Amino acid sequence: MLLPKFDFYEPKTSEEACNIINEYGLKAKPIAGGTDLLVNMKHKLLSPAALVSLSEIAEFNKLEISDNAVKIGSCFTIFDIAESAKIEKKLSALCAGARALGTPLIRNLATIGGNLGSARPAADIPPSLIAYNAKAVLKSASGERTVLLDKFFKGPGFTEMQPNEILTEIIIDIPNERYGAGYINLGVRKAQDCNIVNAASFISLDDSNGVIHSARIVMGCVGPTHLRANLAEDILIGNKPSEKLLEQAAKSAEAECKPIDDFRGSATYKKAMIGVLTKRTLDIAVKEASLR
């Protein structure tokens, strides 16, 4: 399979990249690792007139970690996330998602920005980032804006990003109370497989009385975008974590998700597995929070 013809640019700054994309209008596409985009181009699903590589832009490859926030450049690779002890310490569920993605060859090239940009409902990176309440910074020739990742995905392959915008970095604010999160994916095989379902859970604990102060549960592959289990979150908030409470929340998530029957599994099976994964990710989150 041959790639269609295209112009290729390798800018060194985000301003340069935005200007090139602006000049081409809808006909240019940013490319990071290319593990998603080039496959789509080979299958003739996309035929951009120009590709604007983001990998030489130094600011897109940065990682900044402080007590209050983690900032990850959009071209930071999935391999680097999976292997980073510093990210693991603050955002273990994100590292779990990175380790679950593809194979070593794919992880070496694939980037966090590309995973969000491809907007697949089965992707491994969005659930934990939404659970951590992460924000995406979007830049165009006319300015910059920040979007909550929970509002970023609009449907399979569609995001809040406009064709003239580039995702520059992901920002995760670190809570100032004890917190924990978990991510688990379920596939038919352990690697090189599309998820049947996945789930991420986040909780923070009120330091004064140990009750759950905030909770976010995110379910993947059970709707056109990643879904929040809002009723399950309400069950958790204001209560002390217990086996019974977490089970009740997991049952609620199971009832809230909206999967369809497809070649990956029946809707009934996916619903049941969302219940199981939600309970397990909540267990991880509570354990991590209580040890922090």
State both tokens at 51.
């590709």
Q: If binding is defined by CB under 6 A, does position 110 make contact with ligand FAD?
A: yes
| Minimum gap (Å) between residue 56 Cβ and ligand FAD | 13
Q: Which of 21, 93, 129, 166 binds ligand FAD (CB under 6 A)?
A: 166
First to last CA, the chain: 51
Burial bucket for residue 14 (CB in 10 Å: 0-12, 13-18, 19+) = buried
Per CB under 6 A, does 35 bind ligand FAD?
Answer: yes
Using CB under 6 A, which of the segments 87-95, 103-111, 145-153, 223-231 binds ligand FAD?
Answer: 103-111
Q: Distance (Å, rounded) from C-alpha 155 to C-alpha 81?
A: 25
Whole-number minimum distance, CB 60 to ligand FAD, in Å? 7
**273 touches ligand FAD by CB under 6 A:** no
**57 in contact with ligand FAD (CB under 6 A):** no
Nearest to 130 by CA among 4, 233, 27: 233
The whole-angstrom separation of Cα 242 and Cα 118 is 37
Residue 169 beta carbon to ligand FAD: minimum distance, rounded to whole angstroms: 9
Q: How far is CA 279 from CA 79, 138, 217, 220, in A?
A: 27, 34, 10, 15
Q: Which stretch binds ligand FAD (CB under 6 A): 35-43, 88-96, 141-149, 277-285?
A: 35-43
C-alpha angle 56-30-114 in degrees, rounded to nearest 5: 85
Does the footprint of ligand FAD cover residue 101 (CB under 6 A)? yes
- For the CB of residue 147, give the shortest distance to ligand FAD in the complex, in Å: 12
Binding site for ligand FAD (CB under 6 A): 29-37, 39, 54, 74, 78, 101-102, 106, 109-111, 113-115, 117-118, 123-125, 161, 166-167, 192
